[in-house]
Structure 1
Amino acid sequence: MVEPSTFPWVAVFALGAMAVNSVGIYAIYRHKDWAERNKEYFMCFAAGVLIASPLITAFPEAIGKNSSAGLAALLGFAFMFFSNRLIKHKTQQDELAFGITAIEGIGIHSLIDGIIYTVTFSVSTVTGIMAGLGLVIHEFAEGVVAFSVLIKAGVSDKRALLYAFLVAALTTPLGAFVAYPFVSRLTPPVLGLALGFVVGVLIYVSASHLLPEAKAHEHKHSYLALVAGMGLALLLKVLH
C-alpha cells in the first residue's frame, strides 16, 4: 500500500516537471536560438539518469515485488515502441497533420510521465527521486519540442505558447493526481508489475527517443552530459 507521506513527493515532482516544461516553452518563445542550442545537453543528461536509474534501482525493486516484472518491462518497452511507430506513421502528411499528431504524442507521453511519478514514489522515495530527476530534467527539452512542432504546423507564437503548456506541461501533474488514488490501492505484486512496466517505458524514452534526437543534433561534449546523468544516478544509489 502507498503511504500517505508519498503524496507530497508526487506533487512536488509533478508540479516541478510542469514548471520546467513551462520554462522550456517560454525559453524558446523568447530566446529561440539559445533554447535550440542547449536542448541536446538537457536530453543527454536526462537520458543518462533515465537509463541508469531504472536498471540499478527501480528494476531490482520491481523484481523483488513480483518475479514477472521483467515481462512487464518488456511490455512497457513494446507499448512505447509500437505507439511511437503509429505516431510516426501518421506524421507522413502535411505540416498541420504533423503538428497535430506530434503534439498528440507529446501529450500522451507527458500524461504517462505523471503516472510514472506516482508509481515510482509508491515503491520508495529513493526510486521516485531517481526516476523523477531524469524526467524533470528532460521536460525542458520536451517543452522546446512541443512549441517547435506547433510553430512548424503554422500555429501563431502566442497560441503555440498556450497549446504547448496545456498539452506538454499541464498533463504531467494531471496524470499524477488522477493516477494516485488508484495506485494507492495496489498490492505489492501488482505494484511490482506496474513498476516493471514503467522501467520498460523509461528505458525506451531514454534509449530510443532522447539519445537519437540528441545524436541528430550532436554538440561538442554533449555526451559528457550523458555520463554526468549516469554519474548522478550512481551517486544517489551510493548515498542511499
Structure 2
Amino acid sequence: MDHAKHALAKVPELTLAFWIIKIAATTLGETGGDALSMSMNLGYLMSTFIFAAVFAVAVIAQIKADRFQPALYWITIIATTTVGTTLADFADRSLGIGYAGGSAILLALLLTSLAVWYRAMGSVSVSTIASPKAEAFYWLTIMFSQTLGTALGDWTADSAGFGYTGAAMIFGGLLLVIVLLYYFTAVSRTVLFWGAFILTRPLGAVVGDFLDKPVAHGGLAMSRYGASIALVMFIVVCGFLFKQRPARVAH
C-alpha cells in the first residue's frame, strides 16, 4: 500500500452511519462540555484547557496512526466537539462577545482555515487527505467548525428566539436541503460535505441543550452525566452495528 492510500485509510467513508454517529458525537460534545464547565463548576476557561489538551493528544495519535482506527477517529471528533462547546461558551459569555459576534469571528476563522488549506494543498476534499500536513489542516478546520456550530446553535435558539426545538428543525431542514442537493444536483461534493459537517454541529448543540437545560428554559432537565453516558453508549453500539471502512484516495 502506498503512502497516499495508507494515510487516507485513517479517514472514514462517508455513509449514513457516519452522519448518524457525527450528530450523536456533536450532541455529546454539548452535554459533555456543559457537564465539565457547569455541573462540575470548572468554568469555561479551565474546561477549554482540559478539552484542548485531550484534543491535542488525540490529533497527534490520529496523525501518527498507521491505519484507520474508528475508535480513535471518533474520540478525536468528540474531543473537537467538547473543546468547541467550552471555547465558544467562553468567548460568547465570559468575554462578552455575544453569540452573533462569536459566530462571525468563528466563521471568519473557519473560512480562513479552508482558504489556507486550499492554497497549501490544492484541495480541501477529504478524499485528498494523504499526508500529515493535510490531516493537520483537516482537524484544525473541524475544530473551528465545531466551535462555530456551538455559537451558531446558541444564537439561533436563544438570541433569535427559536428555542431548542425550533432551532433543531431549522438545522435539520438545512441538512435535508443538502441531501436533496447531493442527490439531484451537480453541486460540488466537497462544498456539500463541509456544509453538512458544519450544520450537524449546531443541530447537535441545540439537541444537547434541549436534553439538559431546565424545563423553564425549554429543555428536558436531564442529567448532563446521564445524557452523556447514554450518548456514549449509543455511539459505541453504532460502531459495533455499522462497520466503517476507510475512504478511498482520489486519483
| TM-score band w.r.t. shorter chain | 0.3 to 0.5
Q: What's the TM-score once normalised by structure 1's chain length?
A: 0.37
Identify the structure with the greater helix proportion: 1
Q: What's the TM-score once normalised by structure 2's chain length?
A: 0.36
